[in-house]
């Protein structure tokens, strides 16, 4: 049984319910999901040392119930990030049907067992655009390198995930040059960013920089947002066509990434535990054939290397690019999901332990 003090509702907006803000709260052993201040779902939350169990008490019909149940699952797994399975009793049909397509095991009597390693790979729960996996496998040549023909690039938001310990939604969307150019230019001219990126310049330089990336099939420039507000820039790339390819013996679907955290208020460890594993999650979900993520941070960027080490990356070797001394790092799909790296141990529990009494109305059906 979970023993906690009653808790303030924590903001919890699910990717599939952007129109209705969902919040979660812990009251003793009860996990409550709220919308517009009203309890729409109540779960009994228990933990037996081997699995986390959510038993639906009220509020189990319709699309809102499906999104509320996903909110409850994310909160429970954030509270117990090291457990290997989550059991759902009487899950709403809309969510149960989706989970039974791949992630869940049916136990009878309306009970589902979710092996966490499988649950986090259920792409439809977090991707907000179709991924690359379904694109036909066909080979082509670029700059003397034979590689798979890449899927057309997405447009708009591609991923969203609630971060329970921050009470905000982390999302990724593709770069819109006209919309994002002033912010991108400001970030690139920040001395802290410029020290590592060395891409200072005016608006026209950065317009050309982003346009070149958008035209390159192997690069995907993305904006990272917290509750819709941009705070970071990411470049996700296919490693085989990239300059890193010869240094890491890149496989056909290996991917890599570059990062720029542009806003000072969104730097620090609490935020790294949100955006870094979520970005890796997106990369692995986008194409099931991606078995490894690679990176080449500067060898003297000790803070970034420490962050990568805490998030499961292995340091392979130092090597020389023309413009920097780099460290080759890698993250295996099997390690990322097998070690359940999406929620850092203890972070959510600490955040959810500061509570006050809740006086909430009963759950209502949609």
Using one digit for the tens of pLDDT, what is the confidence trace for 329-347? Answer: 999 999 999 998 888 776 6
Residue % of the chain over a pLDDT of 70? 89
What is the CATH topology of the domain spanning 137-338?
Aminopeptidase (3.40.630)
Q: CATH number of 10-120: 3.30.160, 1.10.3470, 3.40.630, 3.40.1350?
A: 3.40.630
Per DSSP (E only), the strands in 18-166 are 22-27, 30-35, 38-47, 52-58, 85-89, 105-108, 111-115, 139-142, 145-148, 157-163
- The owner of tokens 């066509």 is 241
Q: Rounded to whole angstroms, how far apart are CA atoms 11 and 7? A: 12
The CB-based long-range contact list for 237-241 (8 Å cut-off, 24+ gap) reads 238/147, 238/150, 239/294, 240/145, 240/147, 240/148, 241/142, 241/143, 241/145, 241/147, 241/217
User: What Rg do the C-alpha atoms of the chain give, in angstroms?
Assistant: 21
Using one digit for the tens of pLDDT, what is the confidence trace for 304-326? Answer: 899 899 889 999 999 998 888 99
Residues belonging to the active site: 296
**Residue 206 — φ and ψ, nearest 5°?**
-75, -30
- The owner of tokens 């979660």 is 24
Lowest mean pLDDT among 169-173, 203-207, 356-360: 356-360
Beta-carbon contacts of residue 163 (< 8 Å; ≥ 6 apart): 169, 170, 274, 278
Using one digit for the tens of pLDDT, what is the confidence trace for 145-202? Answer: 999 999 999 999 999 987 877 878 899 999 999 999 999 999 999 999 999 899 999 9
Stretch(es) of the chain classified as CATH 3.40.630.30: 137-338
Half-sphere exposure (Cβ direction) of 357: Cα atoms closer than 13 Å: 1
Using one digit for the tens of pLDDT, what is the confidence trace for 14-45? Answer: 444 343 467 788 888 999 988 877 899 999 99
Nearest in space to 323 (alpha carbons), one of 243, 221, 262: 243
Using one digit for the tens of pLDDT, what is the confidence trace for 269-290? Answer: 778 989 999 999 999 999 999 9
pLDDT at 293: 98
Using one digit for the tens of pLDDT, what is the confidence trace for 63-84? Answer: 888 888 888 898 898 888 888 8
């Amino acid at each position: 049984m979970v023993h906690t003090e009653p808790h303030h509702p924590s903001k919890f907006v699910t990717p599939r319910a952007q129109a209705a803000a969902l919040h979660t709260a812990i009251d003793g052993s009860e996990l409550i999901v709220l919308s517009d201040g009203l309890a729409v779902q109540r779960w009994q939350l228990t933990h037996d040392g081997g699995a986390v169990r959510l038993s639906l008490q009220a509020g189990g019909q319709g699309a809102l119930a499906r999104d509320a149940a996903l909110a409850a699952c994310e909160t429970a797994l954030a509270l117990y990030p090291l457990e290997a399975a989550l059991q759902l009793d009487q899950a709403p049909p809309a969510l149960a049907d989706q989970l039974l397509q791949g992630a869940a095991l049916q136990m009878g009597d309306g009970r589902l067992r979710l092996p966490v390693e499988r649950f986090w790979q259920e792409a439809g729960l977090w991707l907000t655009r179709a991924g690359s996996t379904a694109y036909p496998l066909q080979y082509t040549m670029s700059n003397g390198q034979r590689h798979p023909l890449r899927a057309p690039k997405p447009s708009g938001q591609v991923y969203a995930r609630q971060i329970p310990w921050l009470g905000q939604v982390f999302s990724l969307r593709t770069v819109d040059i006209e919309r994002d150019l002033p912010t991108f230019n400001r970030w690139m001219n920040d001395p802290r960013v410029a020290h590592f990126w060395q891409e200072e310049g005016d608006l026209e330089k950065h317009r050309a920089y982003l346009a070149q990336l958008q035209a390159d099939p192997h690069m995907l420039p993305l904006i990272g947002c917290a509750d819709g507000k941009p705070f970071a820039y990411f470049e996700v790339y296919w490693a085989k066509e990239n300059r890193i390819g010869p240094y890491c013996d890149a496989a056909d679907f290996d991917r890599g990434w570059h990062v720029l955290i542009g806003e000072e208020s969104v730097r620090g460890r609490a935020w790294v535990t949100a955006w870094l594993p979520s970005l890796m999650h997106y990369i692995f979900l986008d194409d099931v054939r991606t078995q490894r993520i690679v990176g080449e941070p500067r060898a003297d960027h000790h803070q970034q290397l420490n962050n990568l080490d805490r998030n499961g990356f292995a340091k392979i070797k130092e090597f020389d690019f023309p413009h920097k001394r780099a460290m080759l790092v890698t993250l295996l799909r099997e390690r990322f999901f097998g070690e359940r790296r999406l929620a850092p141990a203890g972070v959510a529990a600490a955040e959810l332990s500061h509570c006050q009494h809740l006086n909430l109305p009963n759950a209502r059906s949609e």
